[in-house]
Amino acid sequence: MKKNIYVRFSLLIYLVCASVIISACGSAKMEPTDVELLSAIENALVNVTKRSKPAIVSIVAFRQAEDGKIRRQEGSGFIFRKDGYILTNEHVIRDAKTIRVQLFDGSEFDAALDDRIDRNTDIAVLKIDAKEDLPVLPLANSDEVQVGQFAIAIGNPFQLDYTVTIGTVSGKGRSFLPDIGLVRYQDFIQTDAWINIGNSGGPLLNIHGEVIGVNSLIRRPDNTPATAAVRAGAGFAISSNLVEKIGTQLIANGRIIRGFLGIGMREVPDGIRVRSVLKNMPAHLAGLQRGDIIVKYNGQQVKSTDEFKMWIADSPVGQNSKITVLRNGHERMFNVTIAEMPPQQAGRLVETDDSVSWRRLGLTVRKLEKGDFERYTYLTEKDQGVIVERVQENSLIPQGTLIVAVNGQKINTVQELEALLQKQQQELEELILDVKSSHGSEKITMQLKP
């Protein structure tokens, strides 16, 4: 009996071992060779490139130099929407008088800009009028991008159309450009995929052909100008999530309206140290002081300057926010009413204004747009009037105020306000304005300048 049990047990062990050996041999036969594996990777990258190229464009911007000559700036872009909207870098088309866009099939178009630019993030939107729907590149969720994954850059360096380079994602969440006058919002993806000046505005893709970023700049260790043919340094692409948010707003509203606090700041271990406070701006009016350490914004813990700047920028104008600071070792909370970012900090060119409203009222206005109802807490879709875009120092009316009527006369357009002022500028010394702002609806008497 024991012998039979032993024989059966030995037979079972033999069958198990044989099964494992056969399975292992079968698996070994199914494993690809090194060449087959490399060929599969190669084919995947080639296919991504072939699928993506038709949605990538070459951009040439023509601008007038100080010497009067016309200079050309070349870059890249990609089709964001099938009806002809294209995303690129703001610096590619800055100060351009005319812009030409060439598609993969060789067709060329004059592109309309219509001031759909955002210098704070280096993003611009162009529009071309094509007769048919255009191929587009989908955008990936850049929050899901992993350091070490493949990165594919396609662009037009050295006037060499549709150059493809491949590397990896070297880092995420990079920010290093200083706020010098212009407030910058940064979320760069670092890559070792070779890029150059002509790549600016072009896409950085994943292996699925999705845009993970827009190639924007090269940073060299010595910070020398990019003048030589051979350049060393890491490439940086604006994250696709930031690109999608800004691009969508520019298409919908033509501009980006950001919240503004009015402080200089520096990141410290405990939070954000206030380095300076602009006079008559929200932080100053609320009581914040130089040296305060901001630790919470609307109850959320403040961890980095980049995150905090984004929170402020995304806050609707007129929103009442709570800021908690450490002052002399004690926590204090302040109620702050968010203002609109002034044109200078938003990178918008402030030109000499010869309008009647600027000369006599000390302000400039613009038409009321659809996006204003979303960004200004005190406006509704039923409101009509003109928005105050810029004011002279110590104005009674803050930027972002809606002017509804002047001396009881409804104002719906910039032209109506200018015509009224032009007509009455010799007859009146003051005007009563019906306005709507974060202070509510009120009447303000404005003294007219001669």
Do 271 and 413 lie in a common domain? no
Do 422 and 324 lie in a common domain? no
Do 240 and 314 lie in a common domain? no
Do 411 and 428 lie in a common domain? yes
Do 322 and 365 lie in a common domain? no
Instruction: Using a cut of 0.85, tell me whether the model's pTM lies above it.
Output: no
Give the 3-state secondary structure of residue 20: helix
From CA 62, how far away is CA 7, in angstroms rounded? 90
- Domain span at 434: 356-447
Q: How many structural domains are present in the chain?
A: 3
Which of 313, 340, 367 is where one domain is finished? 340
Do 202 and 86 lie in a common domain? yes
Q: Does a structural domain hold residue 73? A: yes
Do 219 and 73 lie in a common domain? yes
Do 274 and 223 lie in a common domain? no
Q: Does a structural domain hold residue 13? A: no
Name 139's bridge partners.
211
Tens of pLDDT, residue by residue over 186-236, are 899 999 988 877 789 999 999 999 999 999 988 765 554 444 444 445 789
Q: Does a structural domain hold residue 12? A: no
Do 125 and 225 lie in a common domain? yes
Give the other-Cβ count within 10 Å of 84's Cβ: 20
Mean pLDDT of the chain: 84
Q: Does a structural domain hold residue 351? A: no
Tens of pLDDT, residue by residue over 225-272, are 444 444 445 789 999 999 999 999 999 888 888 999 999 999 999 899
Query: Are the C-beta atoms of 187 and 177 separated by less than 8 Å?
Result: no
Tens of pLDDT, residue by residue over 153-173, are 998 866 667 889 999 999 998
From CA 120, how far away is CA 185, in angstroms rounded? 6
- The domain that contains 276 carries what CATH number? 2.30.42.10
Q: Does a structural domain hold residue 221? A: yes
Q: Does a structural domain hold residue 33? A: no
Do 125 and 235 lie in a common domain? yes
Give the tokens for residue 11.
């037979």
By annotation, the residues acting in catalysis are 91, 122, 200
- The domain that contains 229 carries what CATH number? 2.40.10.120
Closest residue by Cα to residue 197 from 238, 239, 169, 225: 225
Do 328 and 362 lie in a common domain? no
Closest residue by Cα to residue 211 from 142, 157, 162, 148: 142
Using alpha carbons only, give the angle 282, 255, 300 rounded to the nearest 5 degrees. Answer: 45
Do 245 and 391 lie in a common domain? no
